[in-house]
Amino acid sequence: MKQLIINCIFALVLSISGFSQQLCVGNYWTEAQGKAHLDNVLQQVRDKSQWEVRAQIIRQQILAGSGLTDLFKHRQDPAIRTGKVHELEGYRVTNMAIESEPGSWITGNLYEPLGQKGPFAGILCPHGHWSDPADYGRYRPDMQKRCAVLCRMGAVVFAYDMVGYGDNHQAAGHEDPMAFQIQTRNSVRIVDYLTSRKDVDTERIAVTGASGGGTQSFILAAIDKRVAVSVPVVQVSAHFFGGCVCESGMPVHKNGSFQTNNVEIAALAAPRPMLLISDGVDWTKNTPNVEFPFIQKIYQLYGRKDRVENAHFGTEGHDYGFTKRQAAYGFLAKYLSLRADPDVLSERWVRIFTMDDLRMVE
């Protein structure tokens, strides 16, 4: 209740201050305008020091615009609750909730390797806005396959609900103006949890998600340098700013005359390894020619152009399908020192649980 009151007050302050006029929503720009912005940035940023000045301004704008300037202060190991435990060959799935703020819980599923020796990598798996009751959130078959495979490859994986999805219905629905703030805080608290585990290597933390989960992935990598590797899928775009309040409902892209976009935000991961996965149907159709070359140039300022890659699927659509997952597995295996056994990567062995199996019920 306390956090809900704080959120309401913050929303009122934003409204009164005129920040609501600073929102960049959906197709805020044309494709040409998005590319022109990136070209203009490259005219201003000639070396690493100039980029790092701009990067810090962008990072501060994300935190200030979302009311999270104190996000990394006064942290402690988060409390956890557990529900059903599913023991399987080579891994275990535990229904779990992690405390984000007093009285506020992040609900999800923890995937842990069995029969392997740690320390393990730690991987966050946020989901996107797939809302069909038969194909929903973290319960989606493709989500379960991704988490199970990454776990068997040698990672402790946490799949978690967006605000208002799955079991996360404590104080706010998904249309709450504070959704961006809540979800960003949740992601950071999951990193807190993973890095608090003795069996997780704090130098091998990664995040990957598609669509709205892609937004959560590049936002987290931008603000939390503990994230060593990121794989945002079908979301990084020069002209599209995200169509949901959990992506573009708070003034994180614009403040007065200052303007940024999601490509610059994704580039804040430099020089840490990042794989952009894109397709030929949605707003990532231009990635090989627009977004990726820009981010490559930012990585080149660090002398690490080799650490950013693009897997583009021109005939595919907006999803985290099998071929996209295979690309992600290879990249994560490379940079997190994971096992890449072909039989594991095939996904044929993965057991798909029902929604009831995976719910966090006290």
For 156-209, what is each residue's pLDDT tens digit?
999 999 998 888 876 667 888 889 999 999 999 999 999 999 999 999 999 999
* Count of domains observed in the chain: 1
196 domain residue, yes or no: yes
Cα 110 off chain centre by? 16
Is the alpha carbon torsion for 313, 319, 322, 324 positive or negative? positive
The answer to whether position 357 is within a domain reads no
Alpha carbon of residue 50 to chain centroid: 26
Q: Point out the residues of the chain with pLDDT beneath 70.
A: 1-21, 170-172, 362
Residue 28 is assigned to a structural domain of this protein: yes
CATH of residue 158: 3.40.50.1820
Residue 307 within a domain: yes
DSSP 155-167: EEEEEEPPTTSTT
> Which residues partner with 258 through β-bridges?
255
Residue owning tokens 């614009």: 254
The verdict on residue 20 lying in a domain is yes
In a domain, 22, yes or no: yes
Q: Residue 185 in contact with residue 101, Cβ under 8 Å?
A: yes
Q: How far apart are CA 336 and CA 16, in angstroms?
A: 46
Bridge pairing between strands 155-160 and 104-113: antiparallel
CA–CA separation, 21 and 57 (whole Å):
20
Predicted model pTM: 0.93
* Residue among 143, 188, 146, 149 nearest 165 (CA): 143
Task: Tell whether 123 is covered by a domain.
Answer: yes
The string of pLDDT tens digits covering residues 308-352 is 999 999 999 999 999 999 999 999 999 999 999 999 999 999 999
Residue 329 lies in a domain: yes
Helix extents (H) in 155-237: 179-196, 212-223
Residue 113's domain spans which residues?
A: 2-352
